[in-house]
Every structure is written in C-alpha cells, then in structure tokens.
C-alpha cells in the first residue's frame, strides 16, 4: 500500500503557552509525579538496583532541584533552599551547575528522608507558583521557556520513575506488584500479519519547525534524501520474537553485530530483559508482578543489538529515524501512553483503518540512526546546553514514546536516545525494508 507523505517536520504542541496555561501545566505535571509514587511503600523509594537506575526519591528531589537551580535561584534574589547541600546531592550531570554526588551511589542516600523530600518539593512548588503568578513581563520573557523545559524534564523523569521502579522490583524474588492491574489492557486477540507500507522517499524535511515546545536536539528543520522504503504496519509481537528464540536466534552469531554478539555472550542473554522460563513456559516480570508472556502483546525490553539481530533474522532491517519521522506525518499522536495507567504495552485490538499502527505509545522503537547533531545544530549556551548535546556519541535514536511516556510529552520530532545495550526502558521493534 502506498501513501503520500508530506515533506515538512511536525509538532503537536500549541504555539507558546500562556502564563495561565503554563502554570496549569506545571501543577498537573508536578502532581502526576506524586500519583506515580503513590503505590510505593516507603522502602521502595530508596533502592538503586543498578547504576542506570535512580531511586524514586532521587527523581522527586532532582526534578525539584532543576527548578530551584535554573529558575528560583536566578529569578528570586532572596530565594533560600531548605538545604543548600541539596544542590550537590541532586545535581545529575550539569558540570556548569557545580560539583555533584556520584550517580552509582544514589541508593546510599537515606537522608533526606522521603518525608523531607516531599517537604522539599512543597517548598519548591510554593516558590515556583508564587513566582509564576506574580512574574512581570520581563521576568516571564526570561524564565517561561526554562520553566517549560523544567516541566518536560519532569515528565522525562516520570518515565524513569516507572521504568526504574520496575527494575528495582524485578530484583526482588517476591515479584512485588507496583499496581494490581493484571488483566487491564490484555487481550488474546491475534493481530493481523505485518503489512508493508510503502513510502516514496525523495527530498523530505525532518526536525522541529519551531511551533510549540521542542528540545534543542530536534532542531533545526532540515532536508534529508530518502530512497523508497517500507515500514512494518505494526510492532513486532512476543509471539514473533519467540520464533526468533526458538530458531536459535541467541545462538547464531552471524545475525548479530560483533559488539552485540560479545554482549550476548558476556551477559548470557537468551531472551528479553524480565523474561524467565518456568515449567516450560515463558514468564515475564511486569509492573503487575510476574505473569505469562502474552504472545500478542508488543515485544518490549530488548536492546538495540537484539532489535538489529531480530530484523536481520526476519529478512528486514530497522528504520532510520528520518524514515520513521516522515512516515509519522500520516499518523495521529494516539496510543497506549502512561495516561492510560496500563504500565505495559497493549495488544493491537483491531485495525484503526490507518495503514500504520502503534507508532505512538506502547514501546519506544529502535532506529538504526546514531544519535548525533542535525546539520546546523548548535549546543545552547550555559548549563542547560548540557541537557542533550553532550550525549551525542555512542547512542542510538528511539522514536514514538512508550506506555510510560505522557501523551503531552511526545512529538513526531521527539528524539530519545540510549546506548546499544540498554534494555530497561520499554523498547521494542518496528521493521523496515528498502522499497522497490
């Protein structure tokens, strides 16, 4: 099936948020962090199960530190932090913002307590709301865009709260539940076979046009040349990935990248993260505890290496990020986001009548594109320039958001990025092929 593609970049946000709507956005997002933490026991807040994972308490504090550092301490001369040492404890990687605590040691910090951390959040919220509600034109011009970044930054950390707590709980042999929603969003409906959707390619524009919010790494809008290509109509399912496993996919070095094969051997990978065999059946740890792998759900928790090897085994390849973005032109931003509170990818129920399905939500889709600067990209000045630009090395781009992403956070131009061996995010596979 061939569909026409527009040749412009895209963005789903409205133009420049007003003072009133930014305050509302701030309140909603800050409150949602508390909603996500609500099912946790106090002991869950502290654990760091691997260096990539941060404790929930740290996420709650760090997102407040962001507003304190980049807004309050600059905008309000008399602003006083509840504890000036939080600037050291809760700085993540901003070298220009000063010295910071070591990332792998975040799980060793039992103080401030969880209660003190919530008091810190309240203090920041009161100060932020007072500032936002009383800001004059000059102050608003200077700080509104930073506040907007801070809100989107908190949404990114909300996704990490979900994926990090999943990793934390998965380390516990009791298989604790984060939420009791075992059957929510589950279905035994077998999706239709993958259909190959054709795109003409040619000279296309990708990148953010500048209407509404976007991170610096989505700019500038620029031209790319694409050969004709095809995208799989839906995500790869667990059932399809089981065929790969049963066909000795994890034991066939010739389908793996060299570094991927070394990673498989070193880590003894035999299945996606969170999968385990029990009584001859594949089980997977989910945020609703341990349950049978549902064949019709989208596959998740695979690395770039596994996605790449699977695609090769399946006689196809992964899409480039430009192919993905141009194809997304024809799709509405709808899907299984964290707003649904499923906390798990959902099977494709029935056709929505559109050729491309599951482009947004469920799982981030690995692309074969290295995370690097778009032509003309400039790292913004100051500490906030460290947000994205300094990570443009040794990582691959993922597109489309996941079941842990907020709908108001994702865009067609959004570029997520992770190292090739990362698996703890909700990461999955959409296949691509060269066109005719």
**H or E stretch covering 358:** none
The answer for residues whose C-beta is within 8 angstroms of residue 173's C-beta and 6 or more apart is none
Is 358 among the residues that bind Fe ion (CB under 5 A)? no
Contact 45, 36 (CB under 8 A): no
Judged by CB, which is closer to Fe ion: 92, or 342?
A: 92
Is 155 among the residues that bind Fe ion (CB under 5 A)? no
Judged by CB, which is closer to Fe ion: 125, or 177?
A: 125
Judged by CB, which is closer to Fe ion: 27, or 100?
A: 100
DSSP for 410-434? --TT--EEE-TT--SS-EE---EEE
Judged by CB, which is closer to Fe ion: 92, or 263?
A: 92
Stretch that binds Fe ion, among 92-100, 261-269, 308-316, 372-380 (CB under 5 A): 92-100
The answer for residues whose C-beta is within 8 angstroms of residue 368's C-beta and 6 or more apart is 308, 317, 318, 319, 320, 396
Stretch that binds Fe ion, among 84-92, 296-304, 316-324, 366-374 (CB under 5 A): 84-92
Judged by CB, which is closer to Fe ion: 161, or 314?
A: 161
Minimum Å gap between C-beta 392 and Fe ion is 17
Minimum Å gap between C-beta 319 and Fe ion is 28
Is 92 among the residues that bind Fe ion (CB under 5 A)? yes
Stretch that binds Fe ion, among 69-77, 91-99, 129-137, 244-252 (CB under 5 A): 91-99
Is 388 among the residues that bind Fe ion (CB under 5 A)? no
The answer for residues whose C-beta is within 8 angstroms of residue 303's C-beta and 6 or more apart is 260, 263, 420, 421, 422, 423, 427
Contact 296, 237 (CB under 8 A): yes
Minimum Å gap between C-beta 389 and Fe ion is 15
Judged by CB, which is closer to Fe ion: 161, or 346?
A: 161
User: Phi, psi (5° rounding) for residue 103?
Assistant: -55, -50
CA angle, residues 203, 204, 207, in degrees to nearest 5 = 140
Rounded CA-CA distance 122/413 in Å is: 33
Is 233 among the residues that bind Fe ion (CB under 5 A)? no
Site of interaction with Fe ion (CB under 5 A): 92
């Amino acid at each position: 099936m061939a569909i026409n593609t527009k040749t412009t970049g895209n963005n789903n946000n409205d133009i420049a948020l007003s003072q009133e709507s930014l305050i509302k956005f701030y309140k909603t997002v800050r409150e949602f962090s508390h909603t996500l933490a609500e099912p946790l026991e106090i002991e869950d807040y502290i654990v760091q199960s691997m260096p990539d994972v941060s404790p929930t308490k740290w996420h709650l504090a760090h997102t407040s530190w962001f507003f304190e550092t980049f807004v309050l301490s600059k905008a309000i001369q008399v602003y006083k932090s509840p504890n000036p040492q939080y600037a050291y404890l809760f700085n993540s990687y901003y070298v220009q913002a000063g010295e910071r605590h070591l990332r792998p040691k975040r799980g060793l910090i039992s103080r401030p307590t969880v209660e003190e951390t919530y008091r810190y959040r309240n203090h920041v919220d009161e100060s932020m709301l007072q500032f936002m509600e009383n800001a004059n034109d000059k102050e608003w011009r200077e700080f509104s865009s930073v506040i907007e970044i801070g809100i989107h930054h908190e949404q990114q950390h909300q996704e990490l709260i979900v994926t990090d707590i999943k990793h934390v709980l998965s380390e516990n042999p009791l298989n604790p539940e984060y939420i009791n929603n075992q059957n929510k969003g589950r279905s035994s409906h077998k999706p239709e076979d993958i259909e190959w959707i054709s795109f003409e390619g040619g000279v296309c524009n990708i990148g953010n046009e500048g209407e509404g919010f976007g991170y610096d790494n989505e700019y500038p809008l620029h031209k790319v040349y694409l050969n004709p290509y095809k995208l799989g109509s839906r995500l790869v399912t667990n059932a399809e990935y089981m065929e790969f496993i049963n066909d000795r996919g994890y034991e066939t070095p010739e389908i793996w990248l060299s570094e991927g094969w070394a990673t498989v051997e070193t880590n003894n990978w035999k299945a996606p993260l969170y999968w385990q065999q029990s009584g001859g059946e594949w089980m997977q740890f989910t945020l609703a505890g341990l349950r049978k792998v549902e064949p019709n759900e989208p596959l998740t928790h695979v690395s770039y290496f596994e996605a790449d090897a699977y695609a090769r085994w399946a006689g196809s390849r992964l899409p480039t990020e430009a192919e993905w973005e141009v194809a997304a032109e024809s799709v509405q931003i709808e899907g299984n986001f964290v707003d649904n509170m499923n906390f798990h990818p959902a099977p494709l129920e029935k056709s929505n009548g559109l050729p491309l399905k599951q482009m947004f939500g469920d799982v981030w889709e690995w692309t074969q594109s290295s995370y690097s600067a778009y032509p003309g990209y400039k790292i913004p000045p100051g500490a906030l320039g460290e947000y994205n630009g300094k990570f443009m090395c040794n990582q691959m781009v993922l597109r489309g958001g996941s079941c842990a992403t907020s709908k108001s956070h994702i865009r067609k131009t959004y570029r997520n990025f992770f190292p090739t061996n990362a698996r703890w995010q909700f990461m999955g596979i959409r296949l691509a092929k060269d066109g005719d």
